[in-house]
Amino acid sequence: MSDMNAQIIEAFRANDGVVGGPFEGKRLLLLHHIGRKTGQERVNPLVAAKDGDAYLICGSMGGAPKDPDWVGNIEAGSGETTVEVPGETLRVRTTIVRPDGPEWERLYGIWAEYWPDAKEYETRTTRKFPMIRLTPVSTVD
Protein backbone atom coordinates (compact mmCIF):
# COMPACT_ATOMS: atom_id res chain seq x y z
CA MET A 1 0.00 0.00 0.00
CA SER A 2 1.35 3.42 -0.84
CA ASP A 3 2.32 5.75 1.97
CA MET A 4 -0.31 8.23 0.79
CA ASN A 5 -3.08 5.61 0.96
CA ALA A 6 -1.85 4.52 4.40
CA GLN A 7 -2.05 8.12 5.63
CA ILE A 8 -5.56 8.58 4.21
CA ILE A 9 -6.74 5.31 5.78
CA GLU A 10 -5.26 6.31 9.13
CA ALA A 11 -6.91 9.76 8.99
CA PHE A 12 -10.25 8.21 7.93
CA ARG A 13 -10.26 5.80 10.86
CA ALA A 14 -9.02 8.35 13.41
CA ASN A 15 -11.55 11.03 12.39
CA ASP A 16 -14.74 9.04 11.71
CA GLY A 17 -14.34 9.31 7.96
CA VAL A 18 -13.31 12.95 7.79
CA VAL A 19 -10.19 13.47 5.70
CA GLY A 20 -8.75 16.86 4.77
CA GLY A 21 -6.58 18.06 1.91
CA PRO A 22 -8.01 17.38 -1.55
CA PHE A 23 -10.79 15.32 0.08
CA GLU A 24 -12.04 18.13 2.32
CA GLY A 25 -15.83 17.97 2.45
CA LYS A 26 -16.05 14.82 0.32
CA ARG A 27 -17.35 11.37 1.22
CA LEU A 28 -14.73 8.65 1.26
CA LEU A 29 -15.03 4.98 1.95
CA LEU A 30 -12.48 2.26 2.54
CA LEU A 31 -12.91 -0.58 0.05
CA HIS A 32 -11.74 -4.00 1.25
CA HIS A 33 -10.89 -6.55 -1.43
CA ILE A 34 -8.77 -9.65 -1.94
CA GLY A 35 -5.84 -9.53 -4.36
CA ARG A 36 -6.64 -11.94 -7.18
CA LYS A 37 -2.96 -12.88 -7.57
CA THR A 38 -1.73 -12.68 -3.97
CA GLY A 39 -4.83 -13.70 -2.03
CA GLN A 40 -4.03 -10.92 0.45
CA GLU A 41 -6.58 -8.46 1.78
CA ARG A 42 -6.22 -4.95 0.38
CA VAL A 43 -7.83 -1.67 1.42
CA ASN A 44 -8.25 1.36 -0.83
CA PRO A 45 -9.62 4.77 0.15
CA LEU A 46 -11.96 6.02 -2.58
CA VAL A 47 -14.23 8.99 -3.23
CA ALA A 48 -17.83 7.76 -3.12
CA ALA A 49 -20.94 9.43 -4.48
CA LYS A 50 -24.40 8.29 -3.42
CA ASP A 51 -27.11 6.83 -5.66
CA GLY A 52 -30.03 6.18 -3.35
CA ASP A 53 -28.78 3.76 -0.67
CA ALA A 54 -25.86 2.63 -2.85
CA TYR A 55 -22.36 4.05 -3.03
CA LEU A 56 -20.71 4.72 -6.38
CA ILE A 57 -16.97 4.46 -6.86
CA CYS A 58 -15.02 4.90 -10.06
CA GLY A 59 -12.00 3.08 -11.47
CA SER A 60 -10.43 6.28 -12.75
CA MET A 61 -6.96 5.88 -11.26
CA GLY A 62 -6.51 9.59 -11.84
CA GLY A 63 -6.76 9.11 -15.59
CA ALA A 64 -4.12 6.37 -15.89
CA PRO A 65 -4.22 4.32 -19.11
CA LYS A 66 -5.51 1.18 -17.34
CA ASP A 67 -8.01 0.30 -14.64
CA PRO A 68 -6.70 0.19 -11.08
CA ASP A 69 -5.92 -3.29 -9.74
CA TRP A 70 -8.77 -3.11 -7.26
CA VAL A 71 -11.31 -3.17 -10.12
CA GLY A 72 -9.98 -6.54 -11.29
CA ASN A 73 -9.95 -7.79 -7.71
CA ILE A 74 -13.60 -6.83 -7.25
CA GLU A 75 -14.47 -8.37 -10.60
CA ALA A 76 -12.73 -11.65 -9.64
CA GLY A 77 -14.38 -11.67 -6.20
CA SER A 78 -17.58 -13.23 -4.94
CA GLY A 79 -19.88 -10.33 -5.82
CA GLU A 80 -19.77 -9.04 -2.24
CA THR A 81 -17.17 -7.26 -0.18
CA THR A 82 -16.79 -5.00 2.85
CA VAL A 83 -16.55 -1.22 3.01
CA GLU A 84 -15.90 1.12 5.88
CA VAL A 85 -18.01 4.27 5.82
CA PRO A 86 -18.17 6.89 8.57
CA GLY A 87 -19.57 5.22 11.66
CA GLU A 88 -19.97 1.68 10.38
CA THR A 89 -18.67 -1.22 8.36
CA LEU A 90 -20.97 -2.64 5.71
CA ARG A 91 -21.20 -5.80 3.69
CA VAL A 92 -22.02 -4.70 0.12
CA ARG A 93 -23.03 -6.32 -3.13
CA THR A 94 -20.68 -5.21 -5.92
CA THR A 95 -21.87 -4.44 -9.43
CA ILE A 96 -19.35 -3.38 -12.04
CA VAL A 97 -20.85 -1.17 -14.74
CA ARG A 98 -18.64 -0.89 -17.81
CA PRO A 99 -18.86 2.00 -20.28
CA ASP A 100 -20.79 -0.15 -22.77
CA GLY A 101 -23.44 -0.93 -20.13
CA PRO A 102 -26.84 0.77 -20.23
CA GLU A 103 -26.47 2.45 -16.83
CA TRP A 104 -22.89 3.65 -17.15
CA GLU A 105 -23.61 7.18 -18.38
CA ARG A 106 -26.04 7.94 -15.55
CA LEU A 107 -23.78 6.51 -12.84
CA TYR A 108 -20.64 8.16 -14.19
CA GLY A 109 -22.54 11.45 -14.41
CA ILE A 110 -23.46 11.23 -10.71
CA TRP A 111 -19.87 10.46 -9.70
CA ALA A 112 -18.28 13.07 -12.00
CA GLU A 113 -20.63 15.76 -10.67
CA TYR A 114 -19.70 14.81 -7.10
CA TRP A 115 -15.96 14.64 -7.89
CA PRO A 116 -15.15 17.49 -10.32
CA ASP A 117 -11.54 16.26 -10.80
CA ALA A 118 -13.10 13.60 -13.06
CA LYS A 119 -13.10 16.08 -15.96
CA GLU A 120 -9.33 16.48 -15.64
CA TYR A 121 -8.85 12.71 -15.40
CA GLU A 122 -10.72 12.31 -18.69
CA THR A 123 -8.13 14.50 -20.46
CA ARG A 124 -5.30 12.14 -19.45
CA THR A 125 -6.58 9.02 -21.20
CA THR A 126 -8.81 7.72 -23.98
CA ARG A 127 -10.41 5.03 -21.81
CA LYS A 128 -13.74 5.41 -20.06
CA PHE A 129 -13.69 4.50 -16.40
CA PRO A 130 -15.63 1.56 -14.96
CA MET A 131 -18.21 2.40 -12.33
CA ILE A 132 -18.82 0.17 -9.34
CA ARG A 133 -22.11 0.25 -7.43
CA LEU A 134 -21.83 -0.89 -3.82
CA THR A 135 -25.26 -1.82 -2.48
CA PRO A 136 -25.41 -2.41 1.31
CA VAL A 137 -26.73 -5.82 2.33
CA SER A 138 -25.86 -5.80 6.06
CA THR A 139 -23.75 -4.21 8.73
CA VAL A 140 -20.62 -5.94 10.03
CA ASP A 141 -20.02 -6.17 13.77
pLDDT of 141 higher than 80: no
Average of pLDDT values for 29-45? Answer: 96
% pLDDT > 70, the chain: 99
Four-residue CA torsion sign, 44, 48, 50, 51: negative
Domain extent at residue 53: 3-140
| The pLDDT of residue 1 is above 60 | no
pTM, 2 dp: 0.95
Q: How many domains, the chain?
A: 1
Q: What is the pLDDT of residues 3-14, one digit of tens each?
A: 899 999 999 999
Domain CATH for 61: 2.30.110.10
